[in-house]
């Protein structure tokens, strides 16, 4: 199953944990698919003008109905984490009753697909998935410097270095002799 992460959440919502941002992004994407009127006649393409019309009247849309157990299974997180993350999203007003907050800039920022590697969770999952998405455009390689990655991720150079080291240990990334980064 395709799980998306909206790019604006890389830097946005710094008060949310990485797992809360993953859950929020997942619920937004599922909630949008739950609205019949925003897809073309084939049901494949999102019609942004129709979605804009819906969001211009209210930035809350119907929340995709999902149980804690299914959410945990879909996102490879514990039941306890899914429960507390949803509670936190409610406390921060991202979720109100049976509605979820969606603004136009979140959708327009684009998204990338999260990896299904079960060894990755939270910030490392987001970071690896972002690098993989970025590297797909360049044949599996990127030559972006750590400071630039930190800027794109809304993080620090030290945090990016630590994340890269974790990816090296998992054999998901490799620094090449030409100083490019190969994402596996």
First to last CA, the chain: 20
Q: pTM above the 0.85 mark?
A: yes
Predicted local distance difference test score (pLDDT) of residue 42? 56
Tokens 């090296």 locate to: 168
Predicted local distance difference test score (pLDDT) of residue 164? 95
Predicted local distance difference test score (pLDDT) of residue 1? 66
Here the tokens at position 16 are 């949310």
Compute CA distances 152 → 8, 41, 146, 148, 173, whole Å. 10, 36, 10, 6, 18
CA distance 140 to 127: 15
Predicted local distance difference test score (pLDDT) of residue 58? 77
**β-bridge partners, 62:** 99
DSSP codes joined into one string, 6-45: EGGGTTS-TTS-HHHHHHHHHHHHHHHHT-GGGB-TTS-S
Q: Would you write out the chain's pLDDT as a tens digit for each of its 184 residues?
A: 689 999 999 988 889 999 999 999 999 999 988 876 766 655 556 667 667 766 777 789 889 999 999 999 999 999 999 999 999 999 999 999 999 999 888 988 999 999 999 999 999 999 999 999 999 998 899 987 888 999 999 899 999 999 999 999 999 999 888 888 999 9
């Amino acid at each position: 199953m395709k799980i998306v992460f909206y790019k604006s959440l890389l830097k946005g919502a710094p008060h949310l944990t990485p797992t809360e941002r993953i859950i929020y992004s997942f619920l937004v994407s599922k909630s949008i698919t739950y609205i019949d009127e925003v897809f073309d006649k084939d049901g494949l393409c999102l019609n942004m003008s129709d979605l804009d019309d819906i969001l211009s009247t209210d930035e809350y849309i119907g929340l995709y109905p999902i149980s804690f157990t299914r959410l945990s299974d879909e996102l490879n997180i514990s039941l306890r984490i899914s429960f507390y993350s949803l509670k936190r999203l409610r406390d921060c007003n991202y979720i109100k009753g049976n509605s979820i907050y969606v603004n136009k800039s979140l959708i327009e920022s684009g998204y990338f697909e999260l990896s299904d590697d079960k060894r990755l969770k939270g910030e490392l999952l987001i970071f690896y998935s972002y690098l993989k998405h970025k590297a797909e455009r360049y044949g599996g390689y990127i030559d972006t410097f750590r400071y630039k990655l930190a800027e794109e991720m809304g993080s620090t150079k030290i945090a990016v270095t630590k994340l890269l080291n974790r990816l090296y240990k998992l054999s998901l990334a490799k620094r090449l002799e030409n100083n490019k980064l190969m994402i596996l």
